[in-house]
Structure 1
Amino acid sequence: PHLPYERPPLSKEAMASDAPEIKAIASDAILAEKSIRHVHSVQAVTIDRAAHAVRLSDGSVLPYDKLLLATGSTPRKLPMPGLGAHCVYLRTFADALAIRAHLTPGNRIAIIGGGFIGLELAAAARKLGADVTVIEAQPRILMRGVPAEIAEIIHDTHVAEGVDILCGDGIASIADDGRQVRTTLAGGREIVADLAIIGIGAVPVTGLAAEAGLTIDNGIAVDAELRSSDPDIFAAGDCCSFPLAVYGGRRVRLEAWRNAQEQGALAARNMLGAG
C-alpha cells in the first residue's frame, strides 16, 4: 500500500525513534515527473511470456517489451513447532511497527540469529531500555558477514551495552503460550521473553519466475547483464543469482541494499540495450 521505501532503516532508525516513519525512495510527485506509474495494493499473478504480459490480481493486464523482476526476499522461517503471535519476523514497515511496540524498558526480547538484522535490532532494543538476549547457533556472531576479528569487536561492543549473546548452542524447542515465549537451548538453558524476533536469513522470492518457467538457481538465474533465461526478462537485487568473475564465474546472490541499488540501475541500462 505504500510508496516504495528503504528497508535498511526498519532495523535501525525506525526502531530507535519514538515515531517510526517510512523512508520513501521517491514521492508521488517525483514519480509522476519521471513518467513512472506507481500501481500499489495489487499483486502480479502470472507472467505470460508468449504474450509479453503480466496479469495482476485486480484482473488488469500490463503488456511489456522488457520486464524486470525485483521481487526481493522474505525472512527464512524457523522450521519448528510452537511458534505463535509473539514470535515475529522483520521485513515490512508493518512488521517494524509491531516490533517497536514491544521495545520498552524492562521488556524481555529474545533475538534468534546473530546476523546483521538481529544485532541491529538488539542495539535498538537496548537503546530503548529492553532486556536483550541474542541466540546464535554458530560458534560466533556474523559468521557469514565479517571476519572473526571484526565480529569479536562487535560482540564485545554489544556485551558492553548489556546484550546477552549466546553462541554455539542450537534451539531444542520453542513455546509461545500467548503471554511469553520460552526458548529451550540444546544445552538445556531456557530463555523466557516477552517477544522473540527471528532473524535467520532470507529466501529469494522466485514463485512468479518459476511458474513462468524461468531458470531458478538460488534465486532467479541471470547472466552478467542480469538477463534471465528469457531474453526479455531481467532480474535484480535479492531475488537473483548472478555469475561473479572474481569467484571464477560462480553464482552468487547478495542480500544487500547497495547491490540492489546498483543492479537496478544496471538492469535498466541493459533493458534499454546498453549491453
Structure 2
Amino acid sequence: MQAGMVIIGAGECGGRAALTLRDLGYEGPVTLVGDEPHLPYERPPLSKEAMTSEAPLIKAIASDELLAERSIRHIHSARAVAIDRAAHVVRLSDGSSLAYDKLLLATGSAPRKLPMPGLGGRCVYLRTFNDALAIRAHLSAGNRVAIIGGGFIGLELAASARKLGATVTVLEAQPRILMRGVPAEIAEIIHKAHETEGVKVLTGQGIAAIADNGVEVLVTLADGNEVVADLAVIGIGAVPVTALAAEAGLAIDNGIAVDGTLRTDDPDIFAAGDCCSFPLGVYGGRRVRLEAWRNAQEQGALAAKNML
C-alpha cells in the first residue's frame, strides 16, 4: 500500500503544498497535519482584519469541501512529536502514526519570547487566530495597550488598536522603527503617520523590567520612565520551529537546512516556508531564511513539485 505524501504544518505553506500536489496530478494519499483546530488559514490578516472587522473570521486557504473534493486528509489539533526516518513514519501527539513516502516539514515560526521575569497573562504574543481573538478583547476605548517591538506586526497591531479606540504606546529598543524592514526614510514616514493617529512611539528604549500583577502591566524603561498598560503585546521577531527536525537528526542552520530544491539532508524529507533556510543565488549562495507570506506560498508549491 502506498504511504503517500505527509505534510507537517497546516498553514499557508503546508496548505498550498497539499493543493499543489493535486494540481500536478499526484493521485496517492496526501495527509496534512496541523496543531490548530482550524482549517489552513492566512496569517497576515490576524493583525489587521481579525482585529478590526465586526465579526472576525478566518481567511481559510481551503474549505472542508475542497479538501474532501481533492482527497486531502486534514488531521487537526495534533502535533508531530517524532520522525522515524529509517521506518519512514511520523508519530503524532494523539498516539497515532503516519507512514510516508515523502515528508514535507512546513512547521513555520513561533514568536520570539521576551527573556525577562515578570511576564504574566497580560503579556501576550500574536501567532494564531485564537491569539488574535484574545488580544482583540482588550482593544477598546479606554484600554491601554503597550506594544513591545516596532516591526511590522507591532505597528499593524498599533494601527488596529487605535482604530478601535485603545490608547497605544509602541516601545522599540532600536534607534528607529522597522530597523530590519525598510530604509530609514520610509520608517520616518510611517513613524509620523502613527503619531498623527495618536500612537505614542518610543524608540531607543530598552526595557529594564516588566511586572504583570494580573490587573495591569508596568513596563520600566532603561531610562527609568514607566509605561502602564492593561495589555502588553510582545512582537520582537520570530524563530523557526525546528525541534522536530533537530530531534530527527536533520541539519539545522538558522532553520531546517535545505538545498536549492528544498530537500533536507534526508532525500525523502523536504522543508519549506518560515522554518527553513536555503541557499540564495543572488547572494552568492549564502543561506537565508524568509518570514513572508509570499515565500511560504511559493515554497509550498515548489516543495510539492520537487517531492514528485
1:182 matched to which residue of 2? 218
Partner of 2:12: none
Cross-structure match for 1:52 = 88
Q: Which amino acid aligns with 1:211?
A: E
SS of 1:175's equivalent in the other structure is strand
Does 1:247 find its partner at 2:247? no
State TM-score, norm by structure 2. 0.87
Note the 1:93-242 alignment, pairs <5 A.
93-242=129-278
SS across alignment from 2:245: helix
Name the SS of the counterpart of 1:135 in structure 2.
Answer: strand
Residue 61 of structure 2 corresponds to residue 25 of structure 1: yes
Deviations 1:120-159 (CA, angstroms, capped at 9, x unpaired): 0000000000000000000000000111111111111101
**Correspondence for 2:104 among 68, 71, 76:** 68
Query: Pick from 69, 74, 78: which aligns with 2:114?
Result: 78
Q: 1:257 aligns with which of 293, 297, 300?
A: 293
Measured in 1, the distance between the counterparts of 2:201 and 2:282 equals: 34
Q: How far off its partner does 1:263 sit? A: 0.3
Give me the whole-angstrom Cα distance separating, in 1, the residues matched to 2:233 and 2:92.
33
What SS is found at the alignment partner of 1:217? coil
> 1 CA distance for matches of 2:293 and 2:160?
20
Partner Cα separation in structure 1 for residue 91 and residue 56 of structure 2: 34
CA distance in 2, matches of 1:240, 1:224: 11
For residues 20 and 264 of structure 1, the distance between their equivalents in structure 2, rounded to whole angstroms, comes to 26
Q: What is the rounded CA distance, in whole Å, between the counterparts of 1:58 and 1:160 in structure 2?
A: 50
Q: What SS is found at the alignment partner of 1:71?
A: coil
After TM superposition, give the deviation of residue 178 of structure 1 in Å. Answer: 0.8
Distance 1:200 1:130 in 2: 21
CA drift at 1:188:
1.2
Amino acid at match of 1:213: G
What is the Cα deviation at residue 59 of structure 1? 2.2
Separation (CA, whole Å) in 1 of partners of 2:93 and 2:154: 34
1:92 corresponds to 2:92: no
What SS does the corresponding residue of 1:37 show, helix, strand or coil? strand
Distance in 1 separating the partners of 2:132 and 2:108: 17
For 1:70, the aligned partner's letter is: A
Residue 38 of structure 1 aligns to a residue in which SS? strand
Tell me the distance in 1 between the aligned counterparts of 2:172 and 2:54.
Answer: 29
Q: Distance in 1 between matches of 2:206 and 2:94?
A: 44
After superposition, the C-alpha distances for 1:158-178 in whole angstroms (9 at most, x for unaligned) are 011000000011000010111
AA paired with 1:26?
A
CA distance in structure 2 between the aligned counterparts of 1:62 and 1:121, rounded to whole angstroms:
38
CA RMSD of aligned residues (A): 0.7
Distance in 1 between residues matched to 2:83 and 2:288, nearest whole Å? 25
Deviation digits for residues 70-123 of structure 1 (CA, Å, limit 9, x no counterpart)? 000110000000101100000111110000000000111000000000000000
Q: Deviations over 1:12-34 (max 9, x none)?
A: 10011122111111001101111
Unaligned runs of 5+ in 2: 1-36
Q: By how many angstroms is 1:250 displaced?
A: 0.9
What letter matches 1:41 in structure 2? Answer: S
Q: What CA distance in whole angstroms lies between the structure 1 residues aligned with 2:80 and 2:175? A: 41
Distance 1:41 1:140 in 2: 39
Paired amino acid for 1:144: R
Percent of pairs with identical residues:
82
Moved over 4 A (4+): none
Pairing 1:7–2:27 present: no
